[in-house]
Amino acid sequence: MKRAGVFFLFLRTWLREAQHNELPLRAAALAYYAAFSLLPLLLFVMNALRYLTRDMQAHELLLEILHTLTPDEASQIFELLLEIAAAHNISNWVLLPSLLWAASGFLTGLLRAVDHIHAHSPPRGSLLLRGIGLALAFSVPLLTYAYFLLAALLRSAFARLPLPAWYDLNLSRLLLALFLTAGFYLLYRLLPAQPIRRRAALIAAIFTTGGWLTVSLLFDWYLRFSLPRLNLIYGSLATTMALFFYFYLSSLVVLFGAQLNALLPETYPAASA
């Protein structure tokens, strides 16, 4: 009974701090940044993967990960953007830094929000935040390539075993969940200006990964029933508006994970050590 009371007290504090830091408003701003950073990021990742793979598999590689992570209806827009990106083979390395700069807008905005959530940390300058955002954007194709190398290795290892046909999709989802958890762990552990304990960052990373995958699953279910009605009201803009709403929900989950990461060491210093 006492533990339940402590849990509800922590939950109320978590929600109060989220309201104080205006997380819904900041998630809306991040959704705006994500919409304008998406195409430059896909262009940059596409060309980087072409260089890393030395062939034309970049389109299929990105489609596989996007289909696994995002709802089916949102994947239609991603497919269209990938076709646009595939049609623009940017071999001029002078143009790639401009793509990288545009792609880092969302990540820089996320860093600003993380700094605001960790109110006890000294504020960081705009140039430093932009530099970290550029480094994160630059790491996206490298992490994507590492994911597909590991996925190919695991599929080759499991191919000799008598496993059912559905194991391949579940293997991809499990591997993506592990990659997402590791990515969010590094995000919550290393990016805040103040030191963050390992257990707090891990708990926040697990929450964010589970929340993101749950949002994707529920949003996909919601769109299956509501998208035909939305098409009657908004026409061809319905899918685009749904994608913006998905960006908003995903950003909100990431920010709530950052708030959890900031609150755990203050509330449970022994548990987050």
Give the tens place of pLDDT for each residue, 218-254: 888 887 777 777 776 766 677 778 778 888 999 999 9
Q: How far apart are the C-alpha atoms of 12 and 19, rounded to whole Å?
A: 11
Looking at every residue in the chain, the average pLDDT score rounds to 76
Q: Which of 166, 143, 206, 174 is nearest to 68 (CA)?
A: 174
Q: How far apart are the C-alpha atoms of 111 and 108, rounded to whole Å?
A: 5
Domain positions in the chain: 23-267
Q: How far apart are the C-alpha atoms of 268 and 264, rounded to whole Å?
A: 6
Q: Tell me, yes or no, if the pTM score tops 0.75.
A: yes
The 10 Å CB-count burial string (b at 16+, else e) for 165-181 is: eeeeeeebeebbbebbb
Q: How far apart are the C-alpha atoms of 179 and 77, rounded to whole Å?
A: 24
The band of 158, judged by pLDDT with boundaries at 50, 70 and 90, is low
Write the burial class of residue 23 (CB in 10 Å: 0-12 exposed, 13-18 middle, 19+ buried): buried
Two structure tokens written together for 56? 């034309």
The pLDDT of residue 211: 92
Does residue 271 register a pLDDT over 50? no
For 55-74, what is each residue's pLDDT tens digit? Answer: 556 556 666 666 666 666 55
Residue indicated by tokens 């022994």: 270
Q: 194 φ, ψ to 5°?
A: -90, 150
Cα-Cα end-to-end distance for the chain: 25
The pLDDT of residue 168: 59
Tell me the helix, strand and coil percentages in the chain, rounded to 5.
Answer: 85, 0, 15
The pLDDT of residue 126: 80
Does residue 39 register a pLDDT over 80? no
For 95-149, what is each residue's pLDDT tens digit? Answer: 667 777 888 888 888 888 888 888 766 677 788 888 888 888 888 888 877 877 7
The pLDDT of residue 92: 52
User: Of all helices (H) and strands (E), which one includes residue 173?
Assistant: helix 167-190
The pLDDT of residue 255: 93
